[in-house]
Amino acid sequence: MKLIVLGLNHKTAPVDIRERLAFGPDIIAGALRDLTGCNDVCEGVILSTCNRTEIYAAVQDGAEEEMRRWLSGFHGLEHERVNPFLYAHAERDAVTHLLRVSSGLDSLVLGEPQILGQVKTAYQTAVDCNATGKLLGRLFQHTFSVAKTVRTETAIGSSPVSVAFAAVNLARQIFSDLSEQTALLVGAGETIELAARHLHHNGVGRIIVANRTVERAHDLASQFDGFAISLTEIANHLPEADIVIASTASPLPVLGKGTVERALKKRKHRPIFMVDIAVPRDIEPEVGDLSDVYLYTIDDLQEVIDESLRSRQAAAEQAEEIIAFHSGEFMAWVRSLDAAGLIQDYRQRAEELRDEVLARAQRQIDAGKPPAEVLNFLAHTLTNKLLHAPSSRLRQAARDGDASILEAANELFQLEQTRTHANP
């Protein structure tokens, strides 16, 4: 068997193709059963996120084309339409790819931590579906260990590299403990969702999501035990907010100076931290002139983000070195499996020859031959049978000038050392 990864991601395929090839939670169990039912696919794990769909598999030779056709066929798409967007990696390259993905080196945001949790979930789903075996089991456990090493030994995840992460990081600096704070998130797009995740992860006390479409706001808020309001209700709830992060597509500001002034009076001038990520702005610039308001725009955060990116790029170089080492370590284990099988086969053959010669020797003893003669027969015959095939191969290697086999035999049986001791 060999390892292979087949997939596509945000670098190789547009969003409409990624959407068509995604595996939702409701279909992934059936997909794993179908995948491992293919003739040449022995084990499989399917990783499907908003930015990638990848199949990790232990396969027989020649399975790549079968997997390519399976992926497009499962989703009802023509193979010719999907194939140009796919990439494939085998053996060590496949191992390196999984380690890079799990460590955040292949993500849309360098070093982002969410992907490792998604990889763990994908693997556990495959385990629950009995789609994994010895090879993928060892690979994914190895991957989780290496990803942890990358996180602890490098600064790959220590600095914010997204606007949402930078905003939440600044909020932590201002309030230190977010557990008593209320966050008002204006909008319900990808950036606001990411901000909500970071706030929730950092233990924010309460989340309010305001959006033009209340249903979308409710969908997002419910993921974090928050509640939803419409944009028209912001003025009523702004006095509750210690943190405001705004990112809508509105052509006009959503929050004006007057609304914020009234909120500050009701708050008895307890400070509000505000981040306006939108372009054009969601918060009137004059709000920044108010006492007790800390207003940051996307330009203010960019310097933080740029510095963090430089830091993560340096950490990424360290991470690549760690991954290169551990990829080689895993492939050494894979090669040891081949040796184990070969040793087992050789021992079995030797035992068969032993039993065959022993039976002949026993018959000779039963026929009355002297034990010394039978022992001599046993030793001579067994030695000849065990050495016949290797001797023939070595003679052929000598005739062909195949020095590698002769050198390997020298090293394996320590023949040079034996000759030296025999001829001092």
Could you tell me the two tokens for 413? Answer: 């049986």
25 is in an annotated binding site: no
* Residues 6+ positions from 290 with CB-CB distance below 8 Å: 257, 260, 261, 264
Q: What is the CA radius of gyration of the chain?
A: 33
Contact indicator for 118, 49 with CB cutoff of 8 Å: yes
The reply to whether 52 sits in an annotated binding site is yes
Q: Identify residue 397 by its one-letter amino acid code.
A: A
Is 30 known as a binding-site position? no
CA distance 148 to 183: 31
113 is in an annotated binding site: yes
Q: Is 38 annotated as a binding residue?
A: no
User: In angstroms, rounded to a whole number, what is the distance separating the alpha carbons of residues 121 and 48?
Assistant: 10
Between vectors from CA 299 to CA 241 and to CA 315, what angle results, nearest 5°? 100
CB under 8 Å to 167, separation ≥6 — which residues?
195, 245, 275, 277, 296, 301
With helix as H, strand as E and coil as C, how does 136-169 read?
Answer: HHHHHHHHHHHHHHHHHHCCCCCCCCCHHHHHHH
Q: Is residue 354 part of an annotated ligand binding site?
A: no
Burial class (CB in 10 A: 0-12, 13-18, 19+), 1: buried
122 labelled ligand-binding? no
Q: Is residue 112 part of an annotated ligand binding site?
A: yes
Pick the catalytic residue: 38, 42, 50, 129?
50
Q: Examine the residue annotation and report whether 38 is marked as an active-site residue of this protein.
A: no
Q: Which helix or strand (DSSP H or E) is residue 47 part of?
A: strand 41-48
50 annotated as a binding-site residue: yes
Q: How far apart are CA 424 and CA 418, in angstroms?
A: 10
CA distances from 16 to 55, 77, 85 (A): 19, 12, 12
Contact 59, 2 (CB under 8 A): yes
Q: Do the annotations mark residue 187 as ligand-binding? A: yes
Residue identified by tokens 């918060």 is 283
Q: Which residues are annotated as a binding site for substrate?
A: 49-52, 107, 112-114, 118
Which residues are known to be catalytic? 50
Q: Which residues are annotated as a binding site?
A: 49-52, 107, 112-114, 118, 187-192
Residue list, annotated binding site for NADP(+): 187-192
